[in-house]
Amino acid sequence: MKFKEIENFKDYCERIRNKKRKNIRIKICITGCRAKGALDLYNEFKKREDKEIEVIPTGCHKFCSGAPVVKVKIFSKDYIYQNVGINDIDEIIKNAKKDKPVERILVKDKKFFELQEIKVLKNCGEVNPVDIEDYIYYGGFSSFLNVIENFTPDKVIEEIAKSKLRGRGGAGFPTYKKWEIVKNQVSDEKFVICNGDEGDPGAFMDRTLLEGVPFQIIEGMLICAYTIGANKGFFYIRAEYPIAVLHMSQAIKECYKYGLLGKDILGTGFDFDVEIKKGAGAFVCGEETALIASIEGKRGMPRPRPPFPAEKGLFGKPTCINNVETFANIPIIINEGGENFSKIGTEKSGGTKIFSLAGKVKNTGLVEIPLGTPLWKIIYEIGGGPIEGRKIKGVQTGGPSGGCIPVEYFNTPTDYETLAELGSIMGSGGMIVIDDKVCAVELARYFLDFVQKESCGKCVPCRIGTKRMLEILERITKGNGEIEDIEKLEKLGSYIKETSLCGLGQTAPNPVLTTLKYFKDEYLEHIKDKKCPAGVCVELFEYVIVEGKCTGCTLCKKNCPAGAIEGEVKKAHKIVKEKCIKCGVCFNVCKFNAVERK
Amino acid sequence: MKNKSNLEILQEIQEKKNYIPLDYLDKICKKYKIQKSKIFGVLTFYSQFTTYPRGKYLIRICEGTACHVKGSGKIREMLEKEFGLENGKTTSDMKFTLQVVACLGSCFIAPCMMVNNDYYGNLDVEKAKKIINSLK
């Protein structure tokens, strides 16, 4: 049903919002949790629908370490269950009908949710991602209607300026400024691009938003297009996100069906078409000029700026590129008003930020918190601290462009400026917690290896400079490092930062420079003592059996492929250094933790 | 394939044929008057494209930061040693193709991998071995 007038559509929205829903609504994440069998779980639950129970497929519930996660809404109370199996279905339904939770599978760590400030992700895990009616039921498209009826483009920009929203892709450029520049360009054609090429290893918030609330992003884009005067938009989504592409294309189709996209939207005379462009596996395409080249169908190589895409972008026309999360914030700003929105956050940047928390931490998942929240709160309180028996050493933010921040600086408020001062960046919001079993030098090597592979090869500092840095780091992790290497790394790093063409190269040395700054001891141990304190760099440690712990069970001896373990039953065993190939089998099979890396 | 960009043409061919046969690409270039050097430039730039036939199962093992610190390297090693897989290569029985990818965006269940369009998470060497064996 295509709506040709605003009034008709508004009536329709009103009707949907007043519709009585069933008392018990069971919401199953079928996106991230799919990896843990959520699709089968959903199908089983779906069979149990009756006049009281509605089963809804949704996006992410944020608590990903408990996958599959199921939310049961009884009237307006929410119960969130973790690690739900098909065997739990009967009990969940039986108890729901008695208005009772199933205590044993409730998410125990209440802090994980209580300490968050959930705004952008509010609808994620609530609505069916591809059902437009469900989105409307939860207030969807009210911002767009408000804008198209009551706002001039200048007024939209004013609200966004008041909100202090800054680009969520990483660089933190004020959104209103970008929009204003594009709006003021005189051109027969303008474009809007949503950058969903979330290539940073360790980041998954854009994936979650694209999969969980595609309509919210379309709504943000519609408001942008209306404001800057664009009639054509593109979603650039990486090929590694098949569910995101699927949900977004279904959502776009629905919008066309309802007359919210296409020619003469809701009879207002405003035309806006969107199209999905799939990436093809190139990290550099997250850089805006490279992304534009990729949409044009060319090699995804960046070009020098200026001219900025806002002046000369896609096909040489003014183009507004924003990150997925930035667009997802727009409907909220319009609903709340820019000033209210900016009450949360810091003086320079308003609102919340979604971080993806992963690595060596108890609770992994999505964390939405006001900008400026200190790191320890995210990692220790919301994240639940280290994995049993380990010690957190630091956190890696911003992926390959970011850096490692040590525990000593966990009081730092997470903000664009403060993280930059520490030598890292906010980036798109990936946070990988590292503990004492992660080697800082090896981690730096890992990132350099990544950058090396992903460098497009256009400019020399990035192509060759990172290669030389990688070689030095490889040398150090193999025990062949020299003390001069540290200075070489520092020098090379600063040259590459200053002279590279695009963001990829300019930030590539960050992981090395920050680890050098904060974990220099580890570098020195690798170089001088030829030891890897974390027991990661194979050439720099030995497997040793601790006499007191070994029970003489012979398991390691039986499994050793090199015959390097000696010892009799019920007596402590020994590893013969000369024969050991450091495969780690003994370490993995020992039930008494008697094998150690030293 | 008219009005499509070189990137889209390649994506379409790969979707249809599972890889990009060079002789077929030749034909397309002639038919639509596309410069071969241009399309080859695009083909070699993006890691998704392959000019060799892919196996029945495309195994994408994630090498992202979270997976890396949680030991994805060991799983890759196992795939290489036990099943003879190699990044970008296909086994001779045309069953498996291995692709090492930068990040699958599933860091919350690291280490993880994808087989065709299915995700598998919280892996260890044994679990991964079981999954691949079940497909054999």
pLDDT tens for the 136 residues of chain B, in order: 668 899 999 999 999 999 999 999 999 999 999 999 999 999 999 988 999 999 999 999 999 989 998 889 989 999 999 999 999 899 999 999 999 998 898 998 999 999 998 899 999 999 999 999 999 8
SS3 annotation, A480-514: CCCCHHHHHHHHHHHHHHHHCCCHHHHHCCHHHHH
DSSP sequence for A147-184: HHHH--HHHHHHHHHHHT-B-TTTT--BHHHHHHHHHH
Specify the domain boundaries for CATH 3.30.70.20 within chain A: 542-597
Comparing alpha-carbon positions, the chain B residue that sits nearest to A199 is B103
Comparing alpha-carbon positions, the chain B residue that sits nearest to A238 is B104
Of A281, A297, A450, the CB nearest to B6: A297
Of B42, B105, B118, the CB nearest to A299: B42
3-class DSSP assignment, residue A278: strand
Q: Which of the two residues, A582 and A375, has the higher pLDDT score?
A: A375
Please state the rounded mean pLDDT for residues A157-185: 95
A458 touches chain B (CB under 8 A): no
A168 touches chain B (CB under 8 A): no
| A contacts of B109 (beta carbons < 8 Å) | 32, 35-36, 64, 67, 364
Integer Cα distance of A318 and A598 in angstroms = 59
Domain A440-529, CATH: 1.20.1440.230
Specify the domain boundaries for CATH 3.40.50.11540 within chain A: 132-341
Q: Tell me the C-alpha to C-alpha distance, in Å, between residue A325 and each of A191, A207, B83, B104, B107.
A: 18, 10, 40, 18, 18
Q: What's the token pair of residue A310?
A: 């806002």
Comparing alpha-carbon positions, the chain B residue that sits nearest to A32 is B106
Is the per-residue pLDDT at A171 higher than 90? Answer: no
Comparing CA positions, the residue from A356, A363, A358 lying closest to residue A380 is A363
Q: Tell me the C-alpha to C-alpha distance, in Å, between residue A261 and each of A15, A244, A352.
A: 21, 19, 29
A289 touches chain B (CB under 8 A): no
Integer Cα distance of A28 and A41 in angstroms = 8
Name residue B69's amino acid. V
Q: What's the token pair of residue A181?
A: 């520049």
What pLDDT was estimated at residue A117? 95
Q: What's the token pair of residue A473?
A: 């780091």
pLDDT tens profile A57-67:
999 999 999 99
B contact test, residue of A36, A61, A204 with most B CBs within 10 A: A204
Rounded to the nearest 10°, the torsion over CA A259, A263, A269, A271 is 100
Q: Which of left, alpha, beta for A257 (phi over 0: left; psi -120 to 50: alpha)?
A: alpha
pLDDT tens profile A222-263:
999 999 999 999 999 998 899 999 999 999 999 999 999 999
What pLDDT was estimated at residue A395? 96
Residue A2 CB: number of other CB atoms within 10 A? 12
Domain A542-597, CATH: 3.30.70.20
Model-level pTM? Answer: 0.93
What pLDDT was estimated at residue B102? 86
| B contacts of A443 (beta carbons < 8 Å) | 65, 68-69
DSSP sequence for A86-139: GGGHHHHHHHHHTT---GGGB-S-THHHHT---STTTTTTTS-TT-HHHHHHTT
Specify the domain boundaries for CATH 1.20.1440.230 within chain A: 440-529
What pLDDT was estimated at residue A225? 98
Classify domain A352-435 at the CATH topology level. Ubiquitin-like (UB roll) (3.10.20)
What pLDDT was estimated at residue B105? 86
Tokens 């007024």 belong to: A155
A102-136: b (≥16 Cβ within 10 Å) or e: beebebebeebeeebbbbbbebbbbbbbbbbbbbb
Please state the rounded mean pLDDT for residues A160-169: 95
Comparing alpha-carbon positions, the chain A residue that sits nearest to B77 is A583
In A101-160, the residues whose Cβ lies within 8 Å of chain B are none
Architecture of the domain defined by A132-341: 3-Layer(aba) Sandwich (3.40)
Secondary structure element (H or E) that encloses residue A25, with its range: strand A24-29
Q: What is the percent of chain A with per-residue pLDDT over 90, rounded to a whole number?
A: 85
In B68-127, the residues whose Cβ lies within 8 Å of chain A are 68-70, 74, 101-110, 112, 117-122
Residue A580 CB: number of other CB atoms within 10 A? 16
Q: How far is A281 from chain B (nearest CA, A)?
A: 5
Pairing of strands A574-575, A430-435: unpaired
pLDDT tens profile A107-147:
988 899 999 999 999 999 999 999 999 999 999 999 999 99
